[in-house]
RNA sequence: GGGCCCAUAGCUCAGCGGAUAGAGCACCUGACUUCUAAUCUGGCGGCCGCAGGUUCGAGUCCUGCUGGGCUCACCA
């Protein structure tokens, strides 16, 4: 493999130090960074760290290094020194030859396969209601991380774990059974997951009605009198007492719990109702996933996995990692790892959430042999995953060092946090509908594609709307809690998906117009304009950026890269003519430049799960 | 109370020890007979939460503080 520019420069600087200062050039860390926009050059050597070694002033070192490199290293054409910073100008020939090679080819940015498998889990919904904005962030993060890892050479398996059991789905089931009167998604014409979600909401409504009535009964008043705090209003008390009421007094609550009990006992009627309703939900989810353009290689269901993990407990006891209490419960003491004491099996022998997670981790390893597993889950579970990973490490599981919690912050609305009780949940399907609607309005206003068929226009509009939504969410780094303003999410100008798409469209438009041009003169092009150098330089950075983004599980890096590249393209487009450039060499070179930029934008956006249209 | 995370322009966000802290939105402004103006040009806008420390150099690293979030279940 050929050496990269940073490697070439670093080697040159080390040789220079040895030659110029008779010092050991192999030892120092060379500080190399990309040159700031306002100065000439592409790479910058910071000379401050070398002052001790060279025993000279920074400017003097920079000047001497620059002269040496210009003389000795053929890739370096020129240099300038500003306040101790040595800016290096890469030779035109190098940039030109580079451009005409890798970036114009298919698959630029991909690393060769490394033979390693990584499992990426994302989405992982509960089956009682439709997907919402929080899932959207999760899906986009998980999916694009998976794409980036694939580009970085991994064999990626995308999985989700579906929480298909428990009290929540029983609530929906009970409400449907009692109030549904045999209605189905087909009979009502609703999207099936929304249909089921509506019964979950209906359950809560009926429950609240029942609760309200109870509050006025002698029993309710008695509870208030005994447990209500001094000066607390009845309303405030009952608001906080709702969970307790559900478990101890509510008829509906008792019925829902009875249904859960029957489910666990394997009651045939309950199981068949459960399957029917869950299948509705899956049908609805599938539609949403397809609209997002995502899929899974394998699905895990908690109804299967919740019994797992017992063998891990045995293993832990054998290894002395876990211990038994007097009452029979089993726990792990993680206090020396700054985590708490964690119970794994209750005194009655039943297991809990984290136990099944232990079992599921092993199951996935058995399924795929992956030594790396990524869990895309909100940051409220940071502690849970820290505990889980620590336990697996102590169990000496072979994949324990490759576990990563892809943690992300909650999505807030301008009105504050999303709350189902207050009806401020932003539904994923509605959101898509809205951005596509907005894209349609913008498109009608422009009428740039009006001669295309209606189907073609619809497809373009869909791609534009989805890119606005996806880009808007992905451009924010995962760790940060983010503000989601619906008004801004439908923006199509500025730092947005459509802005990047538009740059791609331009690179395609010029090629359509050019027909089947002869690009061979490009190899004789000389005297690159600053805007051209800038673009080639950005293209040059793409493969390593993909690697960095993949290793840090941060798709926002790719999003910002695409934006920056698109911005440079737009600027170049404005300042330079392509098809009527001054020479055949320039025309050919710029066409190839457009091809490479379009190619890279398509690849980069593809990593984010965003499509680019040929026209817009 | 312990642990983790966050705080940068009016708003949403970049900035991962280096140069005069950057984008987008909003507001003001100029450019379409041209390879598509979903674009481009110019302007406005900052005690980088506060106080110390380390360093040739700190928005970035360390300590303390303030404000916000999450979490510390024999819940999932």
Q: Give A300-341 pLDDT, tens digit per residue.
A: 999 999 889 989 999 999 999 999 998 999 999 998 888 888
Q: How many CA atoms lie within 13 A of A408 on its CB side?
A: 33
Largest CA distance in chain A: 96
Alpha-carbon span A353 to A336, nearest angstrom? 22
Euclidean distance between CA atoms A570 and A567, whole angstroms = 5
- Comparing A25 with A12, the larger pLDDT belongs to A12
Q: Which residue(s) pair with A85 in the sheet?
A: A46, A82
- Rounded to the nearest 10 degrees, what angle do helices A530-551 and A133-151 cross at? 100
pLDDT of residue A230: 75
Distance A36 CA to B55 C1' (A): 23
pLDDT at A27: 63
Q: Is the CB of A87 under 7 A from strand B?
A: yes
Which residue is nearest to the C1' sugar atom of B26, using CA?
A488
For the stretch A572-593, pLDDT in tens is 999 999 999 999 999 999 999 9
Question: Does the nearest atom of strand B lie within 7 Å of A329's Cβ?
Answer: yes
| Cβ of residue A348 lies below 7 Å from strand B | yes
Asked whether strand B has any atom less than 7 Å from the CB of A38, the reply is yes
Q: What per-residue confidence (pLDDT) applies to A2?
A: 77
Model confidence at A54: pLDDT above 90? no
Q: How confident is the model at residue A183 (pLDDT cuts 50, 70, 90)?
A: very high
Mean pLDDT of chain A: 93
Range of weakest confidence among A16-30, A338-352, A448-462: A16-30
Q: What are A159's strand-pairing partners?
A: A121, A298
Q: What does the pLDDT look like over A525-547, one tens digit per residue? A: 999 999 999 999 999 999 999 99
Distance CA A522, CA A592 (A): 8
Cα separation, A253 vs A170, whole angstroms: 10
ipTM value for the complex: 0.96
Res A523: pLDDT: 95
Residue A25 is predicted with a pLDDT of: 60
For chain A, percent of residues with pLDDT exceeding 70: 99
Query: CA at A497, C1' at B49: how many angstroms apart?
Result: 33
Q: Tokens representing A464?
A: 């534009």
A206 touches strand B (CB under 7 A): no
Look at strands A43-46 and A416-417 and give their pairing: unpaired
- The reply to whether A410 Cβ lies less than 7 angstroms from strand B is yes
**Nucleotides in B strand less than 7 A from protein CB:** 2-7, 11-20, 23-26, 34-41, 56-57, 69-76
Confidence of residue A175 (pLDDT cuts 50, 70, 90): very high
Cα distance between residue A136 and residue A435, in whole Å:
14
Is pLDDT of A1 > 60?
Answer: no
Nearest CA to the C1' of B69 belongs to which residue? A481
pTM, whole model, 2 decimals? 0.95
Task: Give backbone dihedrals phi and psi of A114, rounded to 5 degrees, phi first.
Answer: -105, 5
Q: How far is CA A295 from the centre of its chain?
A: 14
Encode pLDDT of A237-293 as tens digits: 888 888 889 989 999 999 999 999 999 999 999 999 999 999 999 999 999 999 999
Residues 6+ apart with CB under 8 A from A344: A309, A313, A316, A322, A330, A331, A332, A351, A352, A354, A355, A358, A391
**Residues 371-400, chain A: which have Cβ under 7 A from strand B?**
379-384
Strand, coil or helix: what is A160? strand
The predicted pLDDT at position A250 comes to 93
What long-range pairs does A544-552 form, CB within 8 A, spacing at least 24? A544/A4, A546/A109, A546/A111, A546/A148, A546/A151, A546/A152, A546/A604, A546/A607, A547/A111, A547/A152, A549/A148, A549/A607, A550/A145, A550/A148, A550/A149, A550/A151, A550/A152, A550/A154, A551/A152
Judge if the beta carbon of A532 is closer than 7 A to nucleic acid strand B.
no
Is A435 within 7 A of strand B by CB distance? no
Alpha helix segments (H runs only) across A475-529: 486-489, 497-514
Q: Say if strands A43-46 and A31-34 run parallel, antiparallel, or are unpaired.
A: antiparallel
Residues 6+ apart with CB under 8 A from A326: none
- State the pLDDT at residue A345: 92
**Mean predicted confidence (pLDDT) in A381-401:** 94
Question: Which has more confidence, A23 or A153?
Answer: A153
The DSSP-derived string for A307-350 is TTTHHHHHHHHHHTSEEE-TTS-EEEE-GGGT--EEEEE-TTS-
C-beta within 7 A of nucleic chain B, residues 241-300 of A: none
The per-residue pLDDT for range A200-238, each reduced to its tens digit, is 999 999 999 999 999 999 999 999 988 887 777 888 888
Inform me whether the pLDDT recorded for A447 exceeds 90.
Answer: no
Q: Does at least one atom of strand B sit less than 7 Å from the CB of A26?
A: no
**Helix (H/G/I), strand (E/B), else coil: A257:** helix
**How large is the average pLDDT for residues A334-362?**
90
A592 touches strand B (CB under 7 A): no
Is 90 exceeded by the pLDDT of residue A71? yes
**Strand B–CB A102 distance below 7 A:** no
Q: Which nucleotide is nearest to A576 (CA to C1')?
A: B35
Judge if the beta carbon of A483 is closer than 7 A to nucleic acid strand B: yes
Q: Which nucleotide is nearest to A575 (CA to C1')?
A: B40
Mean per-residue pLDDT, A549-554: 94
State, as a whole number of angstroms, the distance between the CA of A335 and the C1' of B50.
34
Tens digits of residue pLDDT in A136-159: 999 999 999 999 999 999 999 999
Q: How confident is the model at residue A426 (pLDDT cuts 50, 70, 90)?
A: very high
**Tokens 């499509």 sit at which residue?**
A611
Taking the C1' atom of every nucleotide in all shown strands and the CA of A581, the nearest one is B35
């Amino acid at each position: 493999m050929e050496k990269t520019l940073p490697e070439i420069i670093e080697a040159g600087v080390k040789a220079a130090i040895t030659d110029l200062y008779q010092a050991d050039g192999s030892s120092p860390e060379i500080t190399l960074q990309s040159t700031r926009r306002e100065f000439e050059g592409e790479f910058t050597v910071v000379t401050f760290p070398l002052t001790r070694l060279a025993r000279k002033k920074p400017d003097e070192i920079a000047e001497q290094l620059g002269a040496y490199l210009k003389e000795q290293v053929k890739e370096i054409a020129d240099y300038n020194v500003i306040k101790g910073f040595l800016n290096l100008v890469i030779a035109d020939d190098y940039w030109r030859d580079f451009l005409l090679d890798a970036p114009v080819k298919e698959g630029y940015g991909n690393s060769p396969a490394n033979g390693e498998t990584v499992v990426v889990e994302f989405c992982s919904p509960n089956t009682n209601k439709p997907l919402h904005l929080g899932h959207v962030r999760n899906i986009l993060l998980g999916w694009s991380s998976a794409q980036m890892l694939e580009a970085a050479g991994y064999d990626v398996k995308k999985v989700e774990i579906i929480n298909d059991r428990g009290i929540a789905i029983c609530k929906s089931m009970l409400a449907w059974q009692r109030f549904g009167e045999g209605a189905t998604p087909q009979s009502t014409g609703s999207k099936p997951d929304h249909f089921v979600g509506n019964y979950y909401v209906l359950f809560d409504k009926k429950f609240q009605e029942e609760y309200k009535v109870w509050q006025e009964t002698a029993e309710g008043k008695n509870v208030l009198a005994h447990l209500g705090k001094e000066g607390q209003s009845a309303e405030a008390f009952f608001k906080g007492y709702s969970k307790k009421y559900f478990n101890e007094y509510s008829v509906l609550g008792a019925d829902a719990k009875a249904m859960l009990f029957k489910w666990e006992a394997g009651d045939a009627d309950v199981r068949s109702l459960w399957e029917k309703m869950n299948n509705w939900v899956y049908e609805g989810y599938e539609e949403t996933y397809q609209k997002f353009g995502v899929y899974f290689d394998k699905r895990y269901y908690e109804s299967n996995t919740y019994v797992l993990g017992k063998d891990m407990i045995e293993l832990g006891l054998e290894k002395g990692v876990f211990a038994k209490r007097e009452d029979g419960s089993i726990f792990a003491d993680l206090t020396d790892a700054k985590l708490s004491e964690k119970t794994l099996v209750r005194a009655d022998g039943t297991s809990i959430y984290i136990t099944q997670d232990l079992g599921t981790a092993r199951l996935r390893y058995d399924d795929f042999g992956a030594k790396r597993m990524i869990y895309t889950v909100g940051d409220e579970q940071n502690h849970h995953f820290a505990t889980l990973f620590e336990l697996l490490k102590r169990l000496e599981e072979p994949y324990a060092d490759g576990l990563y919690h892809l943690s992300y912050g909650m999505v807030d609305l301008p009105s504050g946090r999303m709350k189902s009780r207050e009806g401020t949940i932003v539904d994923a399907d509605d959101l898509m509908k809205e951005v596509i609607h907005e894209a349609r309005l913008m498109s009608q206003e422009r009428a740039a594609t009006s001669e295309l068929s209606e189907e073609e226009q619809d497809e373009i509009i869909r791609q534009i709307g989805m890119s606005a939504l996806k880009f808007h969410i992905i451009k924010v780094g995962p760790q940060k809690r983010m503000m989601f303003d619906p008004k801004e999410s439908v923006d199509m100008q500025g730092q947005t998906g459509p802005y990047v798409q538009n740059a791609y469209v331009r690179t395609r438009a010029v090629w359509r117009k050019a027909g089947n041009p002869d690009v061979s003169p490009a190899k004789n092009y000389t005297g690159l304009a600053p805007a051209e150098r800038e673009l080639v330089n950005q293209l040059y950075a793409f493969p390593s950026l993909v690697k960095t983004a993949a290793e840090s599980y941060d798709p926002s890096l790719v999003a910002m890269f695409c934006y920056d590249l698109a911005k440079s393209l737009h600027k170049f487009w404005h300042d330079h003519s392509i098809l009527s450039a001054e020479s055949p060499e320039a025309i050919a070179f710029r066409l190839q430049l457009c091809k490479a930029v379009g190619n890279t934008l398509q690849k980069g956006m593809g990593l984010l799960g965003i499509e680019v249209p040929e026209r817009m």
